Amino acid sequence: MKNAKAGEELGASESDRVQSGLRATGDFMGDDDIRDVPGIRATDEDRVTAQPGARRGNPAEPPVVRAVREPPPRRQRNGALWAVCLSLLIALVGLGYWSHQQQSRLQRQLVATQESFARISEEAAGRLQDISGKVVATESSLSQNEQNLVQQLNKLEQRVEQLTATQQTQQDELQSQQDSLQQQQRRMQALQQADAARVEQMTALDGLASMLGEQLEQQQQALTELAQQTESANTAQAALRSDLQQASEQLQALAQLERRLAEQDSELARQRGELEALLQASSGANVEQEMLVLRSEIEERLASTEESLRAIDSFRLQTNRTISTLRNQLGNLQQQLGQR
């Protein structure tokens, strides 16, 4: 729009200039006194009249007399003037034509510019409508997406709350399991200590059993010696009395050993009951396996102890039979001695 206004102002100024030049030319050509215009060149008379006058107080100088030059013919001066005017007129006509061409070109440019502006404005309006439609669609899709995101966030928050509650519950359960595991570990330590004590007791029992075995071997040797010494009555009687005394002491020791073994059997039965109760109370796989191993070891030791008891019982029976036999023999010897 600014270019169009500038073109209009330029065309108006050019047209005003041409019209003012034409008016000036018409006025100049229409003057009646144009022929009375003096020549451009100065004459001798003009030079004489142009000299300054004498100064005041100075004596007057005589005037200089010069020859008067005849003016050129009037027709020649008018021809030159007409040539100048014609050239000016041609220049003005050319300037007017050029101005008209420039004005026409500027008008065409203005029309083309206006058309391009109209086309651009239409395209811009169409693009603005497209953009506004896209903006509306984008806003609607954004609002829908925002609602979906809000719903998803709400669901995620609920899920996070559920997971937090579940994690707290699991942590509580884990803490309780850790507490129970610590209790079981303490029980296991107590059981290990008790087992160590039992191992010591079993070691002592093994030593005692070995001692009893040695004593039994000694008794067997003594009995064989007594059987060999029955040939002589006096020596056999003394030996039998000593053997009877030793046998009675051994019987007392065997009775004490049986009482101790009975007490150990009751103690082992009580410990077995405690182990079974602990096995029922504990739920850990490792603890159950260890308790099963301990139970198998205790059962093996009980079996070996029972075998030892059976061996002791059989030996006691044999000893009793041997003692009864010896008593019979002593009686027979005493009868024989009495008869002698």
> Are residues 189 and 316 located together in one domain of the fold?
yes
In a domain, 266, yes or no: yes
> Are residues 116 and 203 located together in one domain of the fold?
no
Residues spanned by the domain of 148: 1-28+82-154
Record the pTM.
0.23
> Are residues 98 and 243 located together in one domain of the fold?
no
> Are residues 145 and 186 located together in one domain of the fold?
no
Distance of CA 241 to CAs 137, 228, 253, 315, Å?
127, 15, 18, 20
Q: Which pLDDT does position 28 carry in this prediction?
A: 43
Q: Which pLDDT does position 53 carry in this prediction?
A: 47
Q: Which pLDDT does position 91 carry in this prediction?
A: 92
In a domain, 306, yes or no: yes
* Domain closes at, from 154, 170, 202: 154
In a domain, 54, yes or no: no
pLDDT over threshold 70, residue 173: yes
In a domain, 76, yes or no: no
> Are residues 94 and 224 located together in one domain of the fold?
no
> Are residues 315 and 201 located together in one domain of the fold?
yes
> Are residues 295 and 248 located together in one domain of the fold?
yes
In a domain, 162, yes or no: no
Reported as a pLDDT band with limits 50, 70 and 90, residue 92 is very high
> Are residues 88 and 134 located together in one domain of the fold?
yes
> Are residues 272 and 212 located together in one domain of the fold?
yes
Query: Which residues touch 64 (CB under 8 Å, ≥6 apart)?
Result: 48
> Are residues 239 and 277 located together in one domain of the fold?
yes
For the segment 140-157, the average pLDDT, to the nearest whole number, is: 84
> Are residues 196 and 334 located together in one domain of the fold?
yes
> Are residues 310 and 213 located together in one domain of the fold?
yes
